[in-house]
Structures are given as C-alpha cells and as structure tokens.
C-alpha cells in the first residue's frame, strides 16, 4: 500500500495544542504517511510557544499575522497562500482542527483543489452564527464538503447526522486535548518549584480563580460587565483572581482599564501552555470563554463557569463539569460565590466524569487513516 501524503494545517495556539499529539503519532508511522506541517501564523507568539513545547518544526511557515487585521484581510491572505502550498505539493489529504479562520479558509482551498479534507474536532454546534462569531459559521460551512469527520463525542456525531452527513465519514475518537494534557502534565509537574517561583506575586494560601477571555462576542459592554463581577467576587471572598489577559486590544484595553488597580486581581501576560496548565491545576475554579479550557479544566477536576451565552461544548454542561453564566454580572457573582462556599456543589462539579475520552484519540485517528483506502 502506498503512503498517504497528509498536509497538516493550523494557525492558532488551540489548534497547535490539539494537533500536536496527532502530528507526533503520524510521525511514528512513517511507513504509512508522509506528513507535512504548515502553519499560517494566525497567532504568532502563542503559536510558537506550542511548537517549541511539543518539539514540532513546521515544514512551511506562511507567517501571515499582522497587527489588528480584519477577518476579510486574514481570510484572503490565507486562501491565496494555502492555495499556492497545495498547488506546489502532492497531497491526498489536508488535516485541519476546530473552527478558526485558518481552518475555514484552508478547507476551502483544499476543496477548490480537489484535495480531501480531514476535520479534527468536527460536529461542534452552538446553532447561533453570532455566538461564537465567526467560528459557528466556519465549522458548519466546511462540514458539507469534509471527507473525514473526527468528532470528540456522540453529541457532535449526532449534530452531523442531523445535517445529513454520511455516517461512514464520521468517527468518534474523543478529544485530542486530553492526549495533549497526558503529554504535558508529567513535564509540567517536574517544574513545580520553578513555576511556583515564577508566580511569586500570587498568594497560593488563598483559593485561586483562573480567568481567561477572548471571544469577539464579549468585546465592549459584555466584557465590562464580566470585569465588574470580578471586582465583587474578590471583595466578597478570601480569593485571588489570576487573569492572563489576551493580547487583542479589544480585550486588553478594557480589562486593564477596569481591573488594573484591584487588590487580589492579578493581570498577567498570556501564559505559555505549560505554565497555563500548571496554574489551572493550582486553581479552585476556572471562569472562561475559551473552548479548549472548557475541555482541559474538567480533565483536572476544576469546575468551569462559561462566560458565553451558548456553547458548542454541550457535553461539559450536561456532564455537570460546567455551568453557563454568559456576561450576566449577577449570575457570575452568585455562582462563583456558591462554588466557593458550597462544598456539595463544588464536589459534584469537580468529580463529574469528563466526556472527552482517555487520551488515546490520536492513536485512534492514525489507525483509522491507515485503514481507509
């Protein structure tokens, strides 16, 4: 049987985290696959940190990131550049992960060039094009022409079946974010002392609440309401909030304006993946609008409050790992206080079963790809 030529394309930190275990597994099977790694650089600095941590050296780096570029600019640049990459190669498959502009545009370029598309973490749906924007549009659009859908859960599989996607194209393999955690945690745990020194401004004798936020739908008024809730939480409880602030100026300016001088709120730069994982493991509660962290935190037994109106990761809500709080200031305060003061609720959420598998998703994917003619 001839080798399959696979182009793995990604551009952001979350994509890199979730594709790294797959790339590592593909590279263990050089008798079956020729694997080419191409990055768009949609997240430049944060992407490079992940590549270094997982020891991945891209074969092609398009380096398309520019400051505060529009979706239209980014989409057009990626489409043209990826089209050239495809035309210069001889690929049987293009593998993408998730729902970013890189994913959407690279999949279109593959479709235009009649190259088969493998979509990792397919089938996620919020059923609202505005939440998240533009990710819901991106993932629903490429589903119609994807050839292999690797879904993270039965819920995601059902979504695709309802869209009349052929069942023989859908494979429930779990979520590769758990694979990445299994790879990372042993490394991170060895660095415990150095990480403790790195975060010496944080009093770990208090309960830590880890916060992240970057979604476009929370820009402006919603993010202001969320920040106002954080002020009340630290005033009412013996806790500290640690907030690695996203570099997007729409996030950074609002957060620093409202929270910079608040006692017991630490605003820090975005963290490298290993430091983020370590800090999450030290935290009591996680408040986030991040998709990946909705998956990672439950795997570490951390209750999650999701600052979004809807989530495509309904499994973590249904399993009891997470609660939706949106940008409702009162609801954020109420549920955070309850998690801090109500051990029954806390234990129920922290001990809920993670719905995303056991960390063998990458092996399952590679075995499936080997078996497909």
Q: Does residue 140 have an active-site annotation?
A: no
* C-alpha–C-alpha distance, residues 335 and 306, integer Å: 11
Helix axes 44-53, 13-27, angle to 10 degrees: 30
* Catalytic residue list contains 149: no
Please indicate whether residue 228 is annotated as part of the active site.
no
Rounded to whole angstroms, the Cα distance separating 335 from 249 reads 29
Annotation marks residue 121 as catalytic: yes
The residues, ordered by sequence, that sit 6+ positions from 113 with a Cβ below 8 Å of its Cβ are: 83, 86, 87
Catalytic residue among 216, 228, 328, 360: 216
Residues forming beta bridges with residue 322, ordered by sequence position: 304
48: annotated active-site residue: no
Nearest Cα neighbor of 94 from 81, 80, 78, 106 is: 106
The active-site residue, picked from 125, 215, 246, 313, is 246
Q: Residue 36 in 3-state DSSP?
A: strand
Alpha-carbon span 303 to 191, nearest angstrom: 24
- Whether 193 is catalytic is no
Angle at the Cα of 285 from the Cα atoms of 334 and 291, rounded to 5 degrees: 100
Catalytic residue among 182, 214, 256, 266: 214
Catalytic residue from among 15, 81, 99, 295: 99
Torsion of CA 102, 105, 110, 113, to 10 degrees: -140
One of 15, 135, 136, 315 is an active-site residue; which one?
135
> What residues contact residue 303 under an 8 Å CB cut-off, 6+ apart?
285, 286, 297, 321, 322, 323, 339, 346, 349, 350
DSSP-derived secondary structure for 164-192: T--GGGEEE---HHHHHHHHHHHHHHHTH
Residues serving a catalytic function are 99, 121, 135, 214, 216, 246
């Amino acid at each position: 049987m001839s080798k399959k030529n696979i182009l793995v394309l990604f551009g952001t930190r979350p994509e890199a985290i979730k594709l790294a275990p797959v790339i590592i597994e593909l590279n263990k099977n050089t008798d079956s696959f020729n694997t080419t790694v191409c990055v768009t650089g949609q997240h430049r600095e944060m992407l490079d940190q992940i590549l270094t941590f997982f020891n991945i050296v891209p074969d092609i780096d398009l380096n398309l990131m520019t400051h505060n570029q529009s979706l239209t600019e980014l989409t057009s640049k990626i489409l043209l550049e990826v089209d050239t990459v495809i035309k210069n190669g001889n690929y049987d498959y293009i593998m993408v992960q998730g729902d970013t502009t890189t994913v959407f545009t690279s999949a279109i370029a593959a479709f235009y060039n009649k190259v088969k598309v493998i979509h990792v973490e397919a089938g996620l749906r919020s059923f609202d094009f505005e939440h998240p924007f533009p990710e819901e549009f991106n993932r629903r659009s490429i589903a119609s022409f994807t050839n292999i859908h690797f879904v993270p859960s039965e819920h995601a599989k059902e979504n695709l079946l309802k869209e009349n996607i052929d069942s023989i194209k859908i494979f429930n393999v779990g979520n590769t974010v758990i694979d990445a955690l299994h790879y990372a945690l042993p490394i991170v745990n060895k660095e415990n002392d150095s990480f403790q020194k790195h975060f010496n401004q944080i009093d770990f004798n208090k309960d830590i609440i880890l916060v992240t936020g970057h979604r476009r739908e929370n820009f402006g008024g919603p993010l202001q309401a969320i920040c106002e809730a954080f002020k009340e939480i630290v005033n009412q409880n013996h806790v500290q909030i640690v907030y690695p602030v996203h570099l997007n100026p729409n996030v950074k300016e609002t957060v620093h304006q409202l929270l910079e001088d608040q006692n017991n709120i630490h605003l820090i730069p975005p963290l490298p993946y290993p430091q983020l994982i370590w800090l999450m493991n030290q935290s009591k509660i996680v408040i986030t609008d991040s998709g990946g962290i909705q998956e990672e935190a439950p795997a570490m037994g951390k209750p999650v409050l999701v600052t979004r109106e809807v989530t495509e990761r309904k499994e973590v809500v249904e399993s009891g790992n997470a609660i939706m709080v949106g940008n409702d200031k009162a609801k954020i305060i109420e549920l955070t206080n309850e998690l801090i003061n109500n051990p029954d609720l806390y234990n129920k959420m922290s001990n809920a079963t993670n719905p995303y598998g056991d960390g063998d998703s990458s092996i399952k994917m590679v075995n499936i790809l080997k078996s497909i003619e």
